[in-house]
Every structure is written in C-alpha cells, then in structure tokens.
Amino acid sequence: MPRFLFVMWEGGGTVPPELGVARRLLARGHQVHVLGDPTIEPGARQIGASFTSWRDAPHVTSLRPEDALLRDWEYSNPLTLFRAARDTILCGPTAAFARETLAAIAEFRPHVVVPDMVLLGAQIAAEKARLPCVVLVPNLYPIPSPGRPMLGSGLMPGASPFGRLRDTLMRTVFTRLFDGGLPPVNAARAAFGLPPLAHTFEQNDRAARVLVLSSEAFDFPGPPLPPNVRFVGAQLDDPTWAAPWVSPFDAVDARPPILVGLSSTFQNQLPVLQRIADALAAMPVRALITTGPALAGQKLNAAGHVRVVESAPHGQILPHARVVISHCGHGTTLKALAQGVPLLCMPMGRDQADNAARVVWHGAGLRLKPTAPVAEIRTALERLLTDGRLADGARALAARLRRDRERDGAIEELEWRVRESMDCV
C-alpha cells in the first residue's frame, strides 16, 4: 500500500490545507503518517492518519500566545520578523528537524516524503534517504521571483522602471537575509554526507515537486516559476476543530449576512475584532464573528445582531455571505473568493498583506490597516455592500478558481510520485 509521510509544523492556517491533502490520500486507500507539533495530532487522528510528535525539534504544545515559538505580533518590521523566523524555525533548527524526520522515515518506511516548505530539515532527510520529496506550499509561492514583489511587502507589482528596480532590490535583500541562515543548513547537510548549497532556498530545487496549494489565477502574473513548481489550486478545507453550525438567524431575515474571521492563531487581534463589532453594531446587517481557538475565553462585546462564536465551518457559511471581513490569511481569502464573496482585508502580518494586495488588484475587495477606526471600517463595509463592481470582481475570480477544482492536481502529483518510487523498488 502506498505510504506518505507528511512533515508539518503549527503554522495556523498552514495546517488545514495540508491535512486536506492527506485526507484525500487516505480516502483513496493510501497510508498517511503525520510528523508534527502536538497541536496537529487531533486533526491528524480525526482524518485517519497515524501521528508522531516532534520531540527535540522546535514545536508548540498549545495555541496560547505564551507558548508561541515566534511572537510575530510584536514585530513591526517584516525584515526583522523574517530574520527571527529564519533563526527560530526555518534554518536554525535544521539538523534537529532532519534527525527526527529520518527517524520517522526509518519507522514508517514511506514511499514519498511530503514536508511543509518551511521544514528544510525534512527535505534534507528525504534527500539523505533517497526518497521522492514533494514540498507543500500552503499559501503563495514565497521565494523571490521576477515580476512579483517581495513576500511581506504587501506591494503591487512594479509597473514603472522605478517599480521594477524596487522589486529587484527587494528580491536581493530577501535572498541575502535568508542566506544568512545558510551555515546551519549546510552543517546539517554535511552531517548527512550531502554537498553544500550556495543559497538557502536551493534546497527546494532538489525536491521532485514543489506544490503551491493556491491558484495561479489569484497570484500576480509574471514569468514562469522554477520547473519543479506547480500550482495545484486552493485547498478549501475547514479546520478539523470547526464546530458544527446551525444559523441563529431567522430564515426570512433579509439583512445582508457578514462573516468575520481573523487569525486562528494569536496575533493580538482582539482589539481589531472589537472595533469591527462596534462598526457592525449600527449597521442593518446580520453578522457572525468567529474568534478562533487562540482567543478562547476572551470577551468580545457585540450587538444582538452580531453573533460571536469560537468556531464555525466557514465553508458552510460562505455561500450565503455578502461580505467577509478578514485578516486575509490565505485560507480564508481563497475560500471567500471561491464563493465570489468580496472581502474587507485587514492584514496583521505574515503573508496577509500580500494576499490583500492581490484581492485589491483583482478588484475583489478593499484593504484597511488593522488600526482603522470604527467609522472607517463602517464606511468600507457600506461600499462593499453597495458597489457592484467589487462583487463582480469577486465573482469573476471565483469562475477562474472553479476551473482549478475540475481536477485534483495535488493528488495527481503525489500519486504519480509514489508510483515512480514503487517502480524503482
């Protein structure tokens, strides 16, 4: 029976799309083992995968802010945040991730290793074991490439000579910053008898495939990406912890429904949610705010027509929503756009400003700072509810996203790799 080893980390919104791929492999009769943070274990067990937790490699045991590996909400400069992420997760602990992945390979004996792109050590382990490595990118492709602004900048593509020069310089800065983490990566490679890399992200070039769990239709247009990179479409799975949902609103209620969802991990989002609730209080709408597990036990004051729950399956609610207010995490954004729902984007960090830039570029929503006052949020919502051009932009993008779902590119790529692996045995 084909066996896949998924190697994951607790990246919040990175988990549901990767477990979604694993779930579909299991449904097709394959075996899946997940190596990851203890917070991932309930979801992995729920879909039917076996599970092993990280031991020595960095990991979290809860979604509480005090347990976070990286307190990213404290960084206002993306370059400083990238440097911290490089040293804490991406490069610094490469050897520990590689050792534990090799141990899982020896125990589970997979035909294919499927790591998250962040886990360079897992990719090194697959290379050492001479197994096909299919890397998953659960959001936009993050490595600098011509024609696309640097990850974390939230910028539109440079159209003028100055803009193109800006993007070229930012790519250079990004590459040099992450190459600062190359020594521990090459030390891990040397320990396993592998040759050194010239650049940190050359590790991805050694993968059989890099599968971007997003849609090329959503991204900015640009020159082709590296030959082993494939867009396989957005993964629209709700998190396994999403609670069952029964609408509290009357079926004949004609007020437009609004869905609000900020990050499932802690980003100090409670003040933002409170301002959103205050903006909704005086509007003739019916709204649902999902706070996520990271804010469990936190109090949010809301009017009666604004219901607050910890979780609900967004995929069940979005077909009926008129507007989504979001931090613009990749999962929430693509789920909303797949249903043709325009967004009010309030990015708070990570890749969120980059997603928001694409939403605006496609004419499918508006962007505000997370510090926007109540009146500004209300004005943006009123425009989203009345400006048909924004709804048209979202629906046009939804039609293009639907074409991605006509085939399951992720499963096709993984099954092709496992057949290749088994033929070589």
401 within 8 A of 337, measured Cβ to Cβ: yes
Hey, which residues does 308 pair with through a beta bridge?
289
* Residues contacting residue 33 through CB under 8 Å, at least 6 positions apart: 3, 4, 5, 6, 49, 50, 51, 52, 104, 108, 110
What is the reported pLDDT for 266?
A: 83
What is the reported pLDDT for 238?
A: 83
How confident is the model over 270-296, as pLDDT tens digits? Answer: 999 999 999 999 999 999 998 888 787
Q: Which residue has the higher pLDDT, 310 or 275?
A: 275
Rounded Cα–Cα distance for residues 28 and 23 (Å): 9
**In the predicted model, what is the mean pLDDT of residues 70-88?**
88
Nearest 5°: CA angle at 33, between 30 and 36?
145
Which two tokens mark 65? 């802010």
Nearest 5°: CA angle at 265, between 300 and 20?
120
**Is pLDDT at 297 greater than 80 in this prediction?**
no
**Is pLDDT at 166 greater than 60 in this prediction?**
yes
Q: What is the pTM of this model?
A: 0.92
What is the reported pLDDT for 153?
A: 84
Least confident of 98-112, 149-163, 268-282: 149-163
**In the predicted model, what is the mean pLDDT of residues 383-403?**
94
How confident is the model over 6-60, as pLDDT tens digits? Answer: 999 999 889 999 999 999 999 999 999 999 999 999 999 999 999 999 999 999 9
What is the reported pLDDT for 94?
A: 98
Which two tokens mark 250? 């009357």
What is the reported pLDDT for 211?
A: 98
Sheet with 343-345, edge to edge strand ranges: 306-309, 286-290, 257-261, 323-326, 343-345, 365-367
Rounded Cα–Cα distance for residues 170 and 145 (Å): 10
Helix residue spans in 318-408 (DSSP H): 330-338, 352-361, 374-386, 388-404
pLDDT confidence of 408, banded at 50, 70, 90? very high
**In the predicted model, what is the mean pLDDT of residues 386-402?**
94
pLDDT confidence of 327, banded at 50, 70, 90? very high
pLDDT more than 90, % of the chain:
69
Rounded Cα–Cα distance for residues 309 and 293 (Å): 10
**Is pLDDT at 185 greater than 90 in this prediction?**
yes
Q: Which residue has the higher pLDDT, 371 or 268?
A: 371
pLDDT confidence of 137, banded at 50, 70, 90? very high
Number of residues in the chain: 425
What is the reported pLDDT for 425?
A: 53
What is the reported pLDDT for 379?
A: 97
**Is pLDDT at 424 greater than 70 in this prediction?**
no
What three-state secondary structure class fits 425?
coil
Q: Which residue has the higher pLDDT, 360 or 150?
A: 360
pLDDT confidence of 122, banded at 50, 70, 90? very high
pLDDT more than 70, % of the chain:
99
Least confident of 88-97, 148-157, 176-185, 209-218: 148-157
What is the reported pLDDT for 423?
A: 66
What three-state secondary structure class fits 229?
strand
What is the reported pLDDT for 146?
A: 79
Q: List C-alpha distances in Å: 28 to 2, 48, 49, 407.
A: 10, 12, 13, 15
Gyration radius from the chain CA atoms: 21
What domains are there in the chain, each with its CATH number?
3-233+406-424 (3.40.50.2000), 257-404 (3.40.50.2000)
**In the predicted model, what is the mean pLDDT of residues 218-246?**
88
**Is pLDDT at 214 greater than 60 in this prediction?**
yes
**In the predicted model, what is the mean pLDDT of residues 100-112?**
97
**In the predicted model, what is the mean pLDDT of residues 152-174?**
87
